[in-house]
């Protein structure tokens, strides 16, 4: 059974990968002259990787089960496409750091709302004054990092 520390380390690694993903895909988009084309390559490679993991470690039959899931759950695919397309287009103009910091601020806001209301089946974690202050401090940190030029 994975521990909380292991979960945190895996998510830390995923977080480290987000700006790298943004920088690499933005550079690919500039190099080929098409942010959308870069996104297509990224999603093709991501699809192949996910398919390999599904085949090796899970049950491929879950693909057929997913068809009966509530359709609003597939909005996640639209959101990831929006993120990849927007970061691939905007990062070369706005900077990877600026783009990722803005994304981080959006993540803080939406994560707090999802946790507070237990949206999409998430466990409820109320937005206490202490938690709101911590999120505010993180948001202030994001702001401060953008002021240093």
DSSP state for residue 119 in the 8-state scheme: G
User: In angstroms, rounded to a whole number, what is the distance separating the alpha carbons of residues 101 and 106?
Assistant: 9
Give pLDDT, residue 2: 74
Cβ–Cβ under 8 Å, residues 91 and 18: no
Q: pLDDT tens digits for 112-131?
A: 999 999 999 999 999 999 99
With CA atoms as reference, report the closest residue to 99 among 45, 20, 46: 20
pTM of the model: 0.82
Q: pLDDT tens digits for 133-149?
A: 988 998 888 788 777 66
74 in helix, strand or coil?
Answer: helix
Of the chain, the percentage scoring pLDDT greater than 70 comes to 98
């Amino acid at each position: 059974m994975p521990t909380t520390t292991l979960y945190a380390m895996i998510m830390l690694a995923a977080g480290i990968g987000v700006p790298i993903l943004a920088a690499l895909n933005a550079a690919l988009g500039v190099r080929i002259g098409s942010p959308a084309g870069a996104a297509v390559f990224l999603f093709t490679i991501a699809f192949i990787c996910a398919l390999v993991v599904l085949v090796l470690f899970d049950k491929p039959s879950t693909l057929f089960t997913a068809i009966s899931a509530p359709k609003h759950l597939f909005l996640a695919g639209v959101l990831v496409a929006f993120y990849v397309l927007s970061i691939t287009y905007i990062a070369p103009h706005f900077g990877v750091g600026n783009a990722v910091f803005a994304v981080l601020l959006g993540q803080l806001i939406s994560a707090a709302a999802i946790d507070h209301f237990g949206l999409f089946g998430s466990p409820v974690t109320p937005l206490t004054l202490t938690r709101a202050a911590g999120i505010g401090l993180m948001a202030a940190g994001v702001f401060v990092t953008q002021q240093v030029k």
